[in-house]
């Protein structure tokens, strides 16, 4: 099993550009989540999904969109990148929203 995979590992965007961070898991987990990690702020929940076709907002959803068309994939879209979205993004999956398996992260810089 590959577990949770994320692409790309690194990305630099200019302000106003859009992009999609990819996340995939091969553990047949129903639950998937996106977090951002910033120094001194811990891990903050952006969006999460409890199954294909079902998504909900977390603590910091503004500027991000998600969709869940399959159990395996949960992409995160930045609609119009801003410097405040410079962060490390982690995708996680879980069979019950409790024990979460994290991917290796995507380091995003917005200039």
Partner 1 sequence: QQQVKQSPQSLIVQKGGISIINCAYENTAFDYFPWYQQFPGKGPALLIAIRPDVSEKKEGRFTISFNKSAKQFSLHIMDSQPGDSATYFCAANYQAGTALIFGKGTTLSVSS
* Residues found near partner 1 in the complex (CB under 8 A): 4, 31, 33, 35, 40-45, 48, 56, 58-59, 90, 92, 94, 96-105
In the complex with partner 1, the residue whose CB is nearer, 17 or 88, is 88
The residues near 50 (Cβ < 8 Å, ≥ 6 apart) are 30, 31, 56, 97
In the complex with partner 1, the residue whose CB is nearer, 6 or 85, is 6
Of 12, 17, 40, the closest CA to residue 107 belongs to 12
In the complex with partner 1, the residue whose CB is nearer, 78 or 103, is 103
């Amino acid at each position: 099993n590959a577990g949770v995979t994320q692409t790309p590992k690194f990305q630099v965007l200019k302000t106003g550009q859009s992009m999609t961070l990819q996340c995939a898991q091969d553990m047949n987990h129903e639950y998937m989540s996106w977090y951002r990690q910033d120094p001194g702020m811990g891990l903050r929940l952006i969006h999460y999904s409890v199954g294909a076709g079902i998504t909900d907002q977390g603590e910091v959803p503004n500027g991000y969109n998600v969709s869940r068309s399959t159990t395996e994939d949960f992409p995160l879209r930045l609609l119009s990148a801003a410097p405040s979205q410079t962060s490390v993004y982690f995708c996680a999956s879980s069979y019950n929203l409790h024990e979460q398996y994290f991917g290796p992260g995507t380091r995003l810089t917005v200039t």
